[in-house]
Amino acid sequence: MKSLFGVERSGIYFTLALRNEMTNSLMKHVGNTPFDVSLEAVNLEVVARAHWNLPPASLVLQTLLRGEGTLTDKGALAVLTGKFTGRSPKDRFIVNDALTGDRVDWGNINQPMKSDQFGLLHQDMVRHLQGKSVFVRDAAIGADQSSQIKVRVITEKAWANLFVYNMFVRISDDEVLIPHSDWHIICAPSFSANPELHGTRDANVSAIDFSRKMILIAGSAYTGEIKKGMFSVMNFVLPTVHKVLPMHCSSNVNAQGDVAVFFGLSGTGKTTLSSDPDRFLIGDDEHGWGEDGVFNMEGGCYAKTIDLDAKREPQIFEAIRFGAMLENVQFHRDGVTPNYSDGSITENTRVSYPITHIPGAVEKGYAGHPKDVFFLTCDAFGVMPPISRLKKEQAMYHFLAGYTAKVAGTEVGVTEPQATFSACFGAPFMPLPPTEYAKMLGDRLEEQGVRIWLVNTGWTGGGYGVGSRMSLSYTRAMIGAAMRGELDEVEMHTDAVFGLHSPTSCPGVPSELLIPSNTWDDGEAFHSSAQKLAGLFVENFSKFENASTSAMMEGAPSQIL
């Protein structure tokens, strides 16, 4: 990736007809007078001009002028991402070379690409950008300065650049002027890869080259590919170079400095449960855990909005204002009010916004060591307790298992919840063998004396299609009680199949809900489902047995035949 050079200052005067209140609102941010926008010529040998580090208001305006977005009643920008409304894990590749060859856990998740294929893909994408205007953003990943990565992102879409502004760590003007970035990302959704030439599976691809320090995203405009591409980079670099545990989790802290961490795949409740008005949000999805504590990798939040309700999730609802960007959300008849219950485009409707949109968020992005760690699972079988306390050995086992259900729309082709196992609650983004992350987690849990909890945000009273989804208010009550220490001394029930210790009472939660078997009308059906799920755990864990320690195996369930 070649450097940017040749600053060209250009005064641009935007005159808009102020036909409605939203246009007036926008102009309050942009201004109805001439202003300078710094434009840069990009020495890619083909790209003539790049809009460099435009402020959010200018990116919104650029999107509207191109007819690629709509303003909502609260001033948020709404866009459509086209064919792809979720990540495409089968089209993610990592270059196999001397740096990654014996370190990456190669397989269906981490698929290899040859270095020369990546080089050709890069060359062809650059040629494709000839004559196009692109948007460049200088940003960073990681609030911890000692392990932070500077990144330069080049996007075809102004709104994709707004996403980067929202989600990555925003850096100072002085840092922007330094002509150096650790990593580069090129995102060209209008480019179609050639599988025969580029070594891809299809026309869309997300490819990572750790030697070139570059990510190429082609054929897909779904912004989650940008975010998760850099998360994958951090998941390789942090443990290898800095001895920091990367985590697919959200986190918050109270006024006393007690930190809580919430692991879980998309749709299990990380963002929702960490957005607590009584606590301060550190981050909602990606963190590192180092010698001094937990730090956020990002500068914003990327929340699901399907069925978003102002009463149940007030912080997220209020965060969707000017500067926020909605993806694939439909509108009510007035054309400006989002209809969050409409999943006709996708169930994976999303919003990105800077973390500063959350009142009281920890802007510095880091805090101390966790006091409580929660594993969130969306149990489609309806047999896991709504909350249970884990021993360290059980924690490593369930961390490796990463049981949950894929929630509709999060990935291409998923239209209803499906039982799945995703190591480390984030296998699609973990380049190294999962047991390496599990060992790091176990060491930190033991060093810090952390309480560990497994929380089922999925089904109760039966599996998917029979039972009902766990009430968010009950889940919040259980998590709150756990963090306040109110579950430390209560009587525990031990599950015969999974060996989980769940409280028999919890303030604000019906006692019969705490023991899953009590919620089923058909006891025989419950035991049959529990046995089936236990068998799936055992089958899934077989691939880790050779690399696992004896401690990791202690959390395995028993099968009742």
Residues labelled as active-site residues: 87, 228, 248, 266, 270-271, 285, 350
HSE-up (13 A, CA, CB side) for residue 110: 25
Alpha-carbon gap, residue 247 to 234, rounded angstroms: 10
Token pair of 466, please? 């029979």
Which tokens is 358 given?
């959350």
From CA 154, how far away is CA 488, in angstroms rounded?
A: 50
**Distances, alpha carbon 292 to alpha carbons 242, 245, 455, in Å:** 13, 12, 27
Look at residue 113 and give its three-state secondary structure.
strand
Q: Which 8-state DSSP code applies to residue 470? A: P
β-pairing, 133-141 with 49-52?
A: parallel
- Contact assessment for residue 280 and residue 253, using Cβ atoms and an 8 Å cutoff: yes
Contact status, residue 319 vs residue 305, Cβ threshold 8 Å = no
Biggest CA pair distance of the chain: 76
Half-sphere exposure of 182 (CA within 13 A, CB side): 15
Q: Please provide the DSSP assignment of 57-119 as one string.
A: HHHHHHHHHTT--EE-TTS-EEE--TT-SSB-GGGEEEE-STTTTTTS-BTTTBEEE-HHHHH
Strands (E), 360-488: 370-377, 387-390, 403-406, 418-421, 451-456, 459-460, 468-469
Angle between helices 392-401 and 434-448 (to 10 degrees): 150
